[in-house]
Each structure stands twice: as C-alpha cells, then as structure tokens.
Amino acid sequence: MQIRVYYEDTDVGGVVYHSNYLNFCERARSDIFFKKGLNPILESGHFVAKKLEANYISSAKFGDELEVATVLKEMRNASFELLQVVLKDNKKIFELKIVLAYVSHEAKPQKITSGVKEMLLNLFDV
Amino acid sequence: MQIRVYYEDTDVGGVVYHSNYLNFCERARSDIFFKKGLNPILESGHFVAKKLEANYISSAKFGDELEVATVLKEMRNASFELLQVVLKDNKKIFELKIVLAYVSHEAKPQKITSGVKEMLLNLFDV
Amino acid sequence: MQIRVYYEDTDVGGVVYHSNYLNFCERARSDIFFKKGLNPILESGHFVAKKLEANYISSAKFGDELEVATVLKEMRNASFELLQVVLKDNKKIFELKIVLAYVSHEAKPQKITSGVKEMLLNLFDV
Amino acid sequence: MQIRVYYEDTDVGGVVYHSNYLNFCERARSDIFFKKGLNPILESGHFVAKKLEANYISSAKFGDELEVATVLKEMRNASFELLQVVLKDNKKIFELKIVLAYVSHEAKPQKITSGVKEMLLNLFDV
C-alpha cells in the first residue's frame, strides 16, 4: 500500500508525528480487506490492537511516498500477529509488530471462528 | 476552556494545523456538557456540524496556551448556531461560526425537543 | 483525488469526524502539486488557510471511497480562493470554499510573485 | 496529567483509536516540561521516539477522564526510557514503554549533555 505524507501527518519537528506510523499501518491492514471487497468490521466482530512493538529507524517528511508491507506472523485462537514495515525508497524506516484481538461489537474478546480464520489466512498469508 | 498546543496539533509549518482549531472548538463544546455532568451524546440524539465559517487571524504554536470562548447566537427548530473564538494571550487568533444540527442516532435530522432546547439554553446562554 | 475512509477518520458517531473533511481537501490541494512533481512548500513561501466556509451535506463512513474535486475561484495579490467538493458515489457530500494566503517561511503575509501566480494558475485552472 | 476523551479521539468502534493513547502519553511528557516553565524543544535539540512497546488492557470511550502517570526507567548516553501508564478510575487501561532519543534540530542523534541529563532527571525522577 502506497501512502503519501501530507501536512496533517507531520509535526513541528518537520517529520511525521510518531503515532501516525501506527495509523499508516492500520490503513494498510484495512486496505487488505477493502482490496478484496471485504470490510474489516465483520458481522460477528472486529479486531483491536492488543499489544504492539514499534521501532523508529529513520523518519519521513512532508511529501514523501511510503509503502507499507504486511506479513502474518502467527495465527492464534483469539488473536493474530502481524509484522508491518514502512518503507521509503525501498528502505525500511519503521517496523511494527502488532497483536490484534478479535472482539465482539460489545468489545468482548472472542475466539476466531474457523470461517474468519480462513478469511484472515487468505488475506494476510502470501 | 484552556487548551495547550501539543506536538500532535502542529504541522511542518511550525504552527497549529488548520483543521485542529475546529477540534479545539469541538472540545470546548463538549466540555460545556461535561462540566455540568452531562454527556453531549443524548439518549435521543446528538449534534453534528451542518455549516461553518472560520477565520484564521493569527497562528498558535507548540506550547501555546489557548482559551476557547463559546456564545450561543441563535436557537432554531432543528439546529443552533454558536460563535466560538480561540484566544491567545487574550487576543483573538481564530473565530468560528458553526451551525449544529440535532440528529437521531441513525443520523436523521430531527426537531430539537423543548426539553433539549431548554438544556442547551441553560448550557450555552450566559 | 481518491480518498478512502479509514478508522482514524471516523468518530464514535460512526461517521467521518467533521474536521477531517478539511484534511481530505488539504490532501487534494497538496496532491495537485505532487502530481506535477512540485512541492506545495515553495522556496519562497507556502500557503495557509485564511478563511473558509464549509457545508456538510451528508456524511461518509468507514470504508467509503470519496473523491475530491478542486476548482480555482479567484486569484488575488496575496491569496487565492478555491472551491473544493467531496463526492461519494458522484454525489456531493461536502463543500468547502477556502482562501489561502501566501506567507513567507517566517509566517509573514506576502505578495504572490508573478512566477508563483503562473504556477498556481497552471495547477488549479482547468 | 488529566486527559478528557473527546469525539476526535474516538473511532467508529466507539472507543479511543489505538494510536491516540500514544498522543496522550506524548502530551503528558510535554506537560512535565510545561509545568516547570520549560519547553521540550530545547535550544540544542529535542527528543524523538526510537522504540516503544504498548499494551492495551482495556478501552476508554467518549467522555472518559483519564490520567497519565510517567516514570523514568533508565537514563542512557543518547536516550532515556520512560514507563507511562494511562489510568481510568484508578485502573490501568494502557501501558507504554518508550525510548526517546535526543537529536539535533537537523535530526542527528546526539549525546545528552550533562546539563540536559540533569534537567531530565529533575523533571522525570520522583
């Protein structure tokens, strides 16, 4: 997924505000659904961040064109883990490991049903 | 209402990103409810921006302390209009006229009931 | 310019947060520069919102694909005015009139030089 | 530091958007400087996120009043590590470990001078 850095993404330091890289990665996750004509908000639930680790390697600035690559690391019973990297000119500038939990629309954690698991494997596994 | 300008509010231009003044004004509107122990999301509906006019007079930067003042301009049947100003060192730097429409939780425009109207008049009228 | 609505753009009301339409319009303005290989931050200055009027016609929600169209309304000595509309399924859902002032990098208003004026006319005039 | 959850902080899921907890923590870090009359952007440099780990324990919603507590974990030569927790009704709902690197205004990593180190120890150490 291609992402352009706009004014709103930057801060007074002249570079992308640190939490906006998480937004870029969330856009990329949603886009994987959208591109297949699916909605990441399923009838039976949706996914929320449970845990994440982020590494800031170098920074992006206004006008930069970034790419986000997403890889499935592990599928569990009620969550799954992704590795996402943000690239600029093919060089990694940000890395995110994120665990996403499956919750009901009342925000209760729930098991990922086999149907949903299959869908996720199809979407995220290459 | 006092607002401090943080990193997230600024952009690469070194000042507050233009749409964030609208956020500051929204915080001030919500705060008027919160300070009376009320929630701006009512049981019977909530308020959405319908129309607005904004004037950018001068800019705020990282660390600035701003104040937002809010005055009711007009109460109508299905909406009301506010004038909000953002002040820095007691000088007006931003001015917003905003019309807020009352909608159901299914986003349908609806008449402001007399109970809600009274509440709004109590909250916003000085 | 095509814009997808992501989680970050929505709020608890289930639709796009009101000030984010201004962000979408800003992205579209910047994109007009980027697409020609130009940067909206010029060597001699950049453009800041001076005044705007917004009309919220109907709302966009998570996953929607929007389009932003931009038309030059008036070129003045130190500013120019654009009309921008956000479309969903080819229907106008948001309209913005915005006056952008040309300022130096020290945020001082300045005359738009003839070179910059020509560039703007080429970019925004169809 | 007290933080109120406003519309802008929430998303269509009805709770605070995941990356906004990082913003809350950043506000708390900056506030520690502001409360002492200091600016987190120093003459000789400023601090940028280098690495972080976040745990989402439970969620906050529109109108919630949150508190952010910040503790210094480790002071190093060119960076320092903080532990920040976000509390709701005195219960921890979010936890962040963040490494902040000291960089020049040209974004080059640099040693934390002894003067700056002392200032940080005074600000963050209790």
Average pLDDT value over all residues in chain D: 96
Check if B109 contacts A (Cβ < 8 Å): no
> What gap in Å lies between CA B35 and CA B123, rounded to an integer?
10
Predicted confidence at residue B28, as pLDDT, reads 98
Query: Mean pLDDT, to the nearest integer, of B112-118?
Result: 96
Q: Which residues numbered 44-83 in B keep a CB inside 8 Å of some CB on A?
A: 61-62
Q: Do B63 and D34 touch (CB under 8 A)?
A: yes
Domain at C69, CATH number: 3.10.129.10
CB D45 within 8 A of CB B68: no
Residue B89: predicted pLDDT: 97
- Residue C116 gets which letter from DSSP? H
Q: List chain B residues with CB under 8 Å of D41.
A: 62-63
Instruction: Tell me how close the Cα of B23 comes to any Cα of chain A, in angstroms.
Output: 13
The tally of domains found in chain A comes to 1
Contact D10/C at CB under 8 A: yes
Can you say how many angstroms the Cα of residue D107 is from the centroid of all Cα atoms in its chain? Answer: 19
- B62/D4 Cβ within 8 A: no
Q: Residue A4: which of C34, C62, C63 has the nearest Cβ?
A: C34
B19 interface with C at CB cutoff 8 Å: yes
Residue range(s) defining the domain that contains residue C105? 2-124
**Arithmetic mean of pLDDT over chain A:** 96
Position A126 confidence tier, pLDDT thresholds 50, 70, 90: low
Residues of C with a known catalytic role: 11
D30/A contact by beta carbon, under 8 A: no
What mean pLDDT is predicted for residues C3-24?
97
Evaluate if residue A125 carries a pLDDT over 80: no
CB contact under 8 A, A22 and D19: yes
d(CA A104, CA A112): 10
Confidence of residue B125 (pLDDT cuts 50, 70, 90): confident
- Categorize the per-residue pLDDT at A57 as very low, low, confident or very high, splitting at 50, 70 and 90: very high
Of D8, D34, D39, the CB nearest to B26: D8
Angle of helix A114-124 relative to helix A20-34, nearest 10 degrees?
Answer: 110
Query: Containing H/E element for A87?
Result: strand A79-88
Backbone dihedral region for residue D121 (phi beyond 0: left; psi -120 to 50: alpha; all else: beta): alpha
Asked if A9 is an interface residue toward chain C (Cβ–Cβ < 8 A), one would say no
What is the Rg, in whole angstroms, of the alpha carbon atoms belonging to chain B? Answer: 15
D91: phi then psi, degrees, rounded to nearest 5: -110, 135
C10 interfaces chain D, CB cutoff of 8 Å? yes
To the query of whether residue B11 is one of the catalytic residues in this protein, the response is yes
Give the pLDDT score at C6.
97
Interchain contact, C10 vs D14, CB within 8 Å: no
| Centroid of chain to Cα C122 | 16
Considering only the beta carbons, identify the residue of B8, B26, B62 that sits closest to D41: B62
What's the pLDDT at C85? 98
User: For the segment C69-126, what is each residue's pLDDT rounded down to a tens digit?
Assistant: 999 999 999 999 999 999 999 999 999 999 999 999 998 999 999 999 999 999 997 6
The percent of residues in chain B predicted with pLDDT above 70, rounded, is 99
Q: Within an 8 Å CB–CB cutoff, is residue B7 touching chain D? A: yes
What are the backbone angles phi and psi of residue B85, rounded to the nearest 5°? -125, 140
Mean pLDDT value across residues A55-66 = 97
**Contact (Cβ atoms closer than 8 angstroms) between residue A1 and residue A66:** no
- Chains contacting A with at least 3 CB pairs below 8 Å? B, C, D
Q: C: neighbours with 3+ CB pairs under 8 Å?
A: A, B, D
- Catalytic pick among A11, A64, A89, A125: A11
